[in-house]
Chain A
């Protein structure tokens, strides 16, 4: 943690909103990414990440300074997103039915844009096939390189529970990918057959 971060954190702990705004600037990307991977749309992710920072600001007195601040923020974000998904009863949608979400894209060319969009769609589709808590565990493991212990702390779960959830999530995602590949292959094969006839 840099000297500036420590200073802002110290000031934020004493209720300074300007110092907390600096922390928002610093940690907006990881928090937004988690919310985006969890909820699937930029609008929902924006709302959830804003709410995460508001909740963190209001709960600063409860922040345990021996813990990492970003892990604490991600824990708030993950719990908020899981709660939102359960409240809204997000359906588990099949991959091909999902629309491509709008997300600010800073890529240079059209090819890169299309590539990014397809890639975003594929990743989003895979995550959408998972249970909310499994999804949070997967995002923290693959995007943040968190250890099982850190994921357990963030999601209030034991290490065996995290391992079990990741195992189930990996299987679900691999099966979704396999199924999707087959669905893509079948029309192509049919078209080829009709040409030969």
Chain B
């Protein structure tokens, strides 16, 4: 005999209709296997329903607090170690780069000095050109846009910056419990 349909009814999570209950009881009356399984399940249910919540040994929250302190100290140590490792790594990289850069210095220090001076002068001239461009741009803007518009644009820009800072603060704050 195929017992699976009756086992499905016996262990269902959906509850039984009256018709299904009748079918199951009729089968249990004639089938010893399913009847003993049904009795076993009744015992199991009683055991679980009557079994109380297990309790930890007294002082659980004190032990947790000690563990929390130890855990925080461990995490702090780990972070410090990580920072130290990164610092050492960064410093090593910088020293390495410095050594590589200063290698040609040993051969011809004058040529290296000249090259650096040339780079510096290029940078200075680029900065000067940028300054000239920006000054011309501002003069053009001042001539085309009226001072009122300039004040309005600056005002809107400042307001947007304040709103941005405020929204950032609201988003980063922890949520409040409303119960």
Contact = CB atoms under 8 A, between A and B. Distances in A.
The answer to whether A and B belong to the same complex is yes
A30 B53 contact: yes
Contacts, number: 125
Nearest to B36: A178
A103 B54 contact: yes
Contacts of B10: 174
Interface residues of A, number: 53
B61 A24 contact: yes
Interface of B: 7-8, 10-14, 36-38, 40-41, 43-45, 47-51, 53-58, 60-61, 63-65, 67-68, 71, 174-179
B32 to A, nearest CB: 11
Given A42-B54, A104-B56, 15 more contacts: A13-B174, A13-B177, A21-B61, A21-B64, A28-B60, A29-B55, A33-B53, A54-B64, A104-B58, A122-B47, A123-B47, A142-B45, A142-B48, A170-B44, A174-B41
A169 B132 CA distance: 80
Nearest to B62: A21
A143 B53 contact: yes
A106 to B, nearest CB: 7
Interface of A: 1, 6, 9-10, 13-15, 17, 21-22, 24-25, 28-30, 32-33, 36-37, 42, 45-46, 49-50, 53-54, 57, 61, 65, 103-104, 106, 119-120, 122-123, 126, 138, 142-143, 148, 162-163, 166-167, 170-171, 173-175, 177-178, 181
A142 B55 contact: no
Interface of A is mostly: helix
B56 A46 contact: yes
22 contacts: A14-B174, A15-B174, A21-B65, A29-B55, A32-B60, A33-B53, A33-B54, A46-B56, A50-B63, A53-B64, A57-B68, A65-B178, A126-B44, A126-B48, A167-B8, A167-B11, A170-B44, A174-B37, A174-B38, A174-B40, A174-B41, A178-B37
Nearest to A3: B179
Nearest to B75: A58
A61 to B, nearest CB: 6
